[in-house]
Each structure stands twice: as structure tokens, then as C-alpha cells.
Chains A and B, each alone.
Chain A
Amino acid sequence: MLTSQVGTCEKIDEYVCNQKLGNMTIAQQTPEAPTVASSKPLRNGRWAGYTHLLMARMREMVREPEVLFWVFGFPLLLALGLGIAFRNKPADATSIVIVAGPEAEHTLALLQGSQQKSLIRAEVLDAAQAHRGFRIGRYDLVIESHGKGELQYLYDPARPESVLARAEVDDALQAASGRKNPLSTSAVISSEPGSRYIDFLIPGLIGMNVMNAAMWGVGFALVDMRQRKLLKRFVATPMRRSDFLLALASSRLLFMVIETGVLLGFGVLVFHMRVLGSVLAILFIGALGALGFSGLGLLTASRARKIESISGLINLIMMPMWIFSGVFFSYERFPAAIHPFIHALPLTALNDALRATILEGAAFSSQAGRLLILLLWGGISFVLALRWFRWT
């Protein structure tokens, strides 16, 4: 019967035909009357509101391509870019320049005859070009000759590679000119996974990502909802406010697990990173971090009415932690006097706990102090936020 109707479709008006077929399918699919189901009174359970709020939040996140990029794509690109830029090259040659002059060829010959010749790449240029190259960072050291047997090194003590170049070149030239070493030394190379820059970087990126995602995902999202009067619309219903906040925090936790898994997996697969601690411990630390920063995000968002002001506030709060909390480089470089301040920052606590667990396989209990710092930041922020929070 169906085929005969389809056959006639080509002849008669397509619209009418579709209508007929449409009606027929509906009639076949719904044998019982649909009104019976809809007239039955619905009753919502205790957690209906929470579940729907959580699902709505997850859907909104997944359907926003920009959010997905900032949460997943951006940290991966950062890890990839920095991992490649700072990868351990087999021999990182030092680039130096010799100012052209009567002694230049001799100096060059000495360097090329030295034991370190593979580590030093030297060129001969006139004074102006040499100095310019040094200024823009192409060369780490400039060698200039002042008469026979007298060399002058031009270097920048603020540039570690420049300091290194001076030491290396001086060592090479002295040895090549016949220096005898009074002490016999030998060196062993160590660049095992676990001590490379990428190993340092990945836990830092995980920590930073947990912070970014929680501050934006809670703080910004709340002010956005307040500006759109959606918060007011929600509290005009019997919705439990605690369910709303709980749903927001739960969505952060779920995303944190995925984000952390992706970054860690990326480190393991692409850079052959070794994860010494248990994955469960890592996720637990990440969860405490996500909750701590969610509390901070809630506090930041408690009064702001405009998304412009919350963006500024979030950046203001996060900036010191980007710099001080050891995301991209160790905070040991800062003066010891400010270390207590650095240790008190929540991102420092999170990063340190993550590094100790991931890189050193530290026991979970040994991180109690750092976790307490996270808990205090989150807890105090949450209590203050509840007092100040503006729902309408």
C-alpha cells in the first residue's frame, strides 16, 4: 500500500503527497491516544531542579565553540608551542660574533680547534654589524681584540645565555691556548623525562586551566546571567538557590576531569611524560582546586552588574597568580622575602601539589598543607559570597 502511494507521488502535488505520507506514519507510530499521557499530573522529585540546571549548564558549554576552544584547544596549543620552543635540543650551540680585525682569524681558528667546537657557532663581522646582532639577540657574545693576546668579551649579565656563552667561550679559548687544568673533572648528561621543561610545564598548565575555567565558568557566567536578568527570573521561581550554585560547581568538576585528562594525556602521548602519582590523587587535587577557584569566582561575581567589570576583576585577581604561582617558570626566581606571599596564593598551592604528585609521585598525605590552603580560599570566599551575593 505504501509503495503504491509513493508511486503516485511523482504525479500529484508533492506537498499534498508528503502530507499524506506524514499523516500515515504518525497514525502507525502512535497506537495509543497521546492525551492520556499529558493529562496525568506531573510531580517533580527533590533533585529535578538540580539535574536540569546541571544539564542546561553542560549543554550551554558544549554548544559554545569559543568556550570549547579556550577550555581545551588553547591549553593544548600552549603546551605544544612551549614544549617545542623549549624542547631539549641535542646540542644547543651558542652563537657568538668576532669583530673583524687582524686577530679575528686567529681567534676563530682557536675556537674551531677547541674541544667545544660543536657547541660554539662563531662568525666574523665588522664592529657595527656585530654590535647590532648582539643587541637584537642573534649573538650571545661579542669578542673584540685589543692588540696581541688581549681579548675583550662584550656580554649581558641579565641574559643567562650571554653569561653562559662568555664562560664557555673563555673556557674554550683558554684551553685551546694551552691552559692546564689543575683539577680533573668529568660530566654525566641527565635529561630524563621528569626533569625537562615540558614536565615542569604540563602540571602548571593544568593548574592554570583549572583556575581560568573556574573563574570564567563561575564568575563570568554568573554576572552574565545577572546582566541578562536570568538570575532574577530564576529566583522568581521556587528554585532552590543552593541547587543552582551546586549545579554550577558540579559542572565545573565534570569539566575539570575532562580538561585535566586531556592535558595529561597530551603530555604522555606527545612528550612521553611520565606520571608517577595516582590519577585518582591528581583528580582529587584538581577537584579541590576547581572548588576553591569556584568559590573565588562566586565572590568576585557577588556584586558586579556588568560583564565588562567582571572581566576586569577576574583578570586583576588572576594576573598575580600567572606571574608568581609558577605556571611557566619556577617562583624560586623571585626574592625569598616574598616567598611566603607566593606560597599563600591558591594557584601556587595547586601547582605545587600537582607537580609533587605528577612528577615525584608524592604521597597524598604529604600535600595536606597545600590542600588546606585551597580549601581555606574556597571556603572563606564562599561564606563571604553568600553574604554579599546579589541575586536580582
Chain B
Amino acid sequence: MPAAIQCRDLRKTYDGKVEAVRGLNLEIQAGECFGLLGPNGAGKTTTIEILEGLLDPTSGEVTIFGHAWVKNSREVREWLGISLQETRLSEKLTVRETIELFASFYREPRSSDEVLNDLQLGEKADAFVGKLSGGQRQRLAVATALVGNPKILFLDEPTTGLDPQSRRQLWDIIRNFQRGGGTVLLTTHYMDEAERLCDRLVIVDHGQVIAEGTPPDLIERLGGHHVVEFEASGSSGGAGNLDAWRGLPSVESVRHDNGLVSLTVHEPHLTIPALLDAVQKQGAQLLHLSTRQASLEDVFVNLTGRHLRED
């Protein structure tokens, strides 16, 4: 069985100058939830719109279940449900009318009532789209994607700007779709979202894949599972000291950010006593000390030296 989505050496250059995507290879299997992770401007939206057949790549090829976009594009569209980053649906139509409109484009859609219930929009069925809250609008956008009974769901930053409760509701909807055998491709710049939802993901930066794997894999590859962060008075943050911290037991890597030192460590119970000793020996005082599980955010910072959301 061919891969649900496959692309080889995908490139997109705007106006012959700006290289948004620079040689991307992806293979997403049916039934997978695959994440495209990266900071704003990394080329995520350009990539997903090429995969959706909405943008032509400058070079490279895309296949959906083995079908290229150039041929049978109407046929391929029957299999896809798409939620764009921001679509302002007609405000003067009701929720039900909007879902039924989108259902009418597909050969064998799902029943609108069923989709309304699944997405907890039943109570709002007769409300105008213009009267919906942000979370409800986002659920409606996903409803218009799901009503076509797709095999693949494309979601471009589905939870950006949503409150925590609305985000969790959408996560449940995505998991339900996957449980029914669907394939999901989503872009996000929320690390926790990717960790919770994605079976596999790629981290994209400057139009290129800089890491690929399952979330635990990627964190594993970082070296340590834990992060010890501290701040000390005096010159502890200086470059000279970074080597001293690196020499502490069980430390994998050291980063320094605005006075705050982050150590990626295997076994914090070995590192912390040694760290306290070292601080004391220098005649400095700890201002702050904390430990936490390493996350994809740490993977990203380690790979690029930047934070994911610098906005």
C-alpha cells in the first residue's frame, strides 16, 4: 500500500528569491498522526499547502496514496479534509448551512448532524457563524474538513490562539479521527501539542528538516531526559564557568540564556549535589534552581539555539 502522503526533494522559491522550502522529503503512512513542527516562518504553511495541492512546488513531487496532484486532482480531493490556517467563513450563514454547503461538494459526505454532534456544535447549529467564539469557529473549520468523510486530515496550526479548554477539545477530535483509521498531518508551533498528538514528527527550520522521529526518540537523542536550570549571583553565567558546569557529573550539554544556565542531565540526583558544591566553592549564591523533564522545546533550542515561539 502506498504511503498516505509522500514528497521528494520539495522546493519552493518565491519570486526567484525567497527560498521557503529547501529540499524536503517526507513519507507519512496511513493511520499516522504526523507533525510538522517549527517556528513562525520556517516554511510549514508553504509545505502543507503544496502537499494539499493548493500551491505548485518549484520542483519536487508529491503523491497522495500514490496519486500525483497533476492528474485526478478532483479524485484526490475527495480523500482530503483541509483546515487552513485562517479562513473566515461566511458570517451570515448558520453553522449547519456552512457544514451542509461543504458536504455538498463531496460525492459521499458524512451526515451533517453526525458531524455537528461529534464536534459539539449541536447547540450552535442554527447560530450565525459571525456569532461564534474563537474555539467554536475553529471547531467549525475542522467540521467542514471532516464532513467530506476524508482519509487524510490536514490541519494548519489548528489550535493557535485558542484557550486551553478549546485546545483539549480539538485534540480529542483529532484523536477520534485517527482512531477511526484516519491519517493526520498537522503543523504547530506548540511543543506540548506535538508531544501529545503526534506519532512521528519532523522539526523544520529555514525550509529544511533538522530532526525527524517520534517525540520520545527526539528527546532521547538530546542526551538527557532532565533539565536542571539555575541562576547564581556573581559571575556564574560567564563563558569561563560554562566549562565548569559541563564538567559536573551526568551533564550532557550546557546552555546559557540571559543569566539562566540550563543543564541537560541524565541523573539529576548526581548533578545537583555537585552543582551546589561548585557554587559554594566559587563564593556565589543560588538565586534560582529547578528541574524538569526535557521536552521537544529543549530539542528545538538545542538544535537551533533559538526558542520556538519568539513572538
Across-interface contacts of A56 in B (CB, < 8 A): 90, 93, 97, 101
Q: Check: B284 CB closer than 8 A to any chain A CB.
A: no
From A99-107, A227-235, A266-274, A326-334, give the one contacting chain B.
Answer: A227-235
Across-interface contacts of B113 in A (CB, < 8 A): 38
Q: Check: A60 CB closer than 8 A to any chain B CB.
A: yes
Q: Check: A87 CB closer than 8 A to any chain B CB.
A: no
From A39-47, A176-184, A340-348, A375-383, give the one contacting chain B.
Answer: A39-47
Interface size on A, residues (CB 8 A): 30
Q: Could you tell me the distance between the alpha carbons of A37 and B113 in the complex, rounded to whole angstroms?
A: 11
* Least Cβ–Cβ distance between A59 and chain B, in angstroms: 6
Q: Could you tell me the distance between the alpha carbons of A51 and B100 in the complex, rounded to whole angstroms?
A: 11
Q: Could you tell me the distance between the alpha carbons of A392 and B52 in the complex, rounded to whole angstroms?
A: 12
B56 to chain A: closest residue by CB: A392
Q: Cβ of B108 and Cβ of A44 under 8 Å apart?
A: yes
From A139-147, A236-244, A362-370, give the one contacting chain B.
Answer: A236-244
Q: How many A-B residue pairs have CB under 8 A?
A: 89
* Least Cβ–Cβ distance between A246 and chain B, in angstroms: 14
Mark interface residues in B38-54 (1 if CB within 8 Å of A CB, else 0): 00000000000100111
Q: Cβ of B108 and Cβ of A237 under 8 Å apart?
A: no
> On chain B, which size bracket covers the interface?
35 or more
* Least Cβ–Cβ distance between B64 and chain A, in angstroms: 13
Mark interface residues in A177-202 (1 if CB within 8 Å of B CB, else 0): 00000000000000000000000000
A227 to chain B: closest residue by CB: B88
Mark interface residues in A30-68 (1 if CB within 8 Å of B CB, else 0): 000000011001111000110111011001100110000
Q: Cβ of B92 and Cβ of A233 under 8 Å apart?
A: no
Give the contacts of B235-279 with A (CB-CB under 8 A). none
Q: Check: B212 CB closer than 8 A to any chain A CB.
A: no
Q: Check: B165 CB closer than 8 A to any chain A CB.
A: no
Q: Cβ of B93 and Cβ of A238 under 8 Å apart?
A: no
Mark interface residues in B51-91 (1 if CB within 8 Å of A CB, else 0): 01111000000000000000000110110101010111110
Assuming the A-B contacts A232-B87, A233-B87, A238-B74, are A51 and B114 also in contact, with contact meaning beta carbons closer than 8 angstroms in the complex?
no
* Least Cβ–Cβ distance between B150 and chain A, in angstroms: 10
Mark interface residues in A142-163 (1 if CB within 8 Å of B CB, else 0): 0000000000000000000000
Mark interface residues in B106-129 (1 if CB within 8 Å of A CB, else 0): 111111011000000000000000
Q: Could you tell me the distance between the alpha carbons of A60 and B98 in the complex, rounded to whole angstroms?
A: 11
Q: Cβ of A239 and Cβ of B105 under 8 Å apart?
A: yes
Q: Check: B171 CB closer than 8 A to any chain A CB.
A: no
Across-interface contacts of B110 in A (CB, < 8 A): 42
* Least Cβ–Cβ distance between B21 and chain A, in angstroms: 16
Across-interface contacts of B190 in A (CB, < 8 A): none
Q: Could you tell me the distance between the alpha carbons of A53 and B97 in the complex, rounded to whole angstroms?
A: 10
A229 to chain B: closest residue by CB: B87
Q: Cβ of A41 and Cβ of B108 under 8 Å apart?
A: yes
Across-interface contacts of B144 in A (CB, < 8 A): 233
Q: Could you tell me the distance between the alpha carbons of A98 and B285 in the complex, rounded to whole angstroms?
A: 104
* Least Cβ–Cβ distance between A51 and chain B, in angstroms: 7
A61 to chain B: closest residue by CB: B92
Across-interface contacts of B107 in A (CB, < 8 A): 43-44, 238
Q: Cβ of B148 and Cβ of A237 under 8 Å apart?
A: yes
Across-interface contacts of A228 in B (CB, < 8 A): 87-89
Q: Cβ of A60 and Cβ of B90 under 8 Å apart?
A: yes
Q: Cβ of A235 and Cβ of B54 under 8 Å apart?
A: yes
Q: Cβ of A48 and Cβ of B104 under 8 Å apart?
A: yes
Assuming the A-B contacts A44-B104, A236-B54, A392-B55, are A60 and B148 also in contact, with contact meaning beta carbons closer than 8 angstroms in the complex?
no
Across-interface contacts of A37 in B (CB, < 8 A): 111
Across-interface contacts of B87 in A (CB, < 8 A): 228-230, 232-233
A51 to chain B: closest residue by CB: B104
Across-interface contacts of A232 in B (CB, < 8 A): 54, 84, 87
Across-interface contacts of A236 in B (CB, < 8 A): 52-54, 77, 80, 82, 84
A392 to chain B: closest residue by CB: B54
Across-interface contacts of A44 in B (CB, < 8 A): 103-109
Q: Cβ of B90 and Cβ of A230 under 8 Å apart?
A: yes
Mark interface residues in B135-164 (1 if CB within 8 Å of A CB, else 0): 000000000100010000000000000000
Q: Could you tell me the distance between the alpha carbons of A64 and B89 in the complex, rounded to whole angstroms?
A: 15
* Least Cβ–Cβ distance between B158 and chain A, in angstroms: 14
Q: Could you tell me the distance between the alpha carbons of A264 and B231 in the complex, rounded to whole angstroms?
A: 82
Known A44-B103, A44-B105, A232-B87; 13 more pairs at CB < 8 Å: A38-B114, A41-B108, A42-B110, A48-B105, A52-B101, A229-B84, A229-B86, A230-B90, A232-B84, A236-B77, A237-B148, A238-B148, A392-B55
Kindly list the 5 A-B residue pairs having the minimum CB-CB distance in the complex, ordered from nearest.
Answer: A52-B104, A228-B88, A238-B77, A239-B105, A63-B92
A-B contact pairs, 27 of them (CB 8 A): A38-B111, A42-B108, A44-B103, A44-B105, A44-B108, A48-B105, A51-B104, A52-B104, A56-B90, A56-B93, A56-B101, A59-B92, A63-B92, A228-B89, A230-B89, A233-B82, A236-B52, A236-B77, A236-B80, A237-B77, A237-B105, A237-B106, A238-B74, A238-B77, A238-B105, A392-B49, A392-B55
Which residues in A have some Cβ–Cβ distance to B below 8 Å?
A: 37-38, 41-44, 48-49, 51-53, 55-56, 59-60, 63-64, 228-230, 232-240, 392
Which residues in B have some Cβ–Cβ distance to A below 8 Å?
A: 49, 52-55, 74-75, 77-78, 80, 82, 84, 86-90, 92-93, 97, 100-111, 113-114, 144, 148
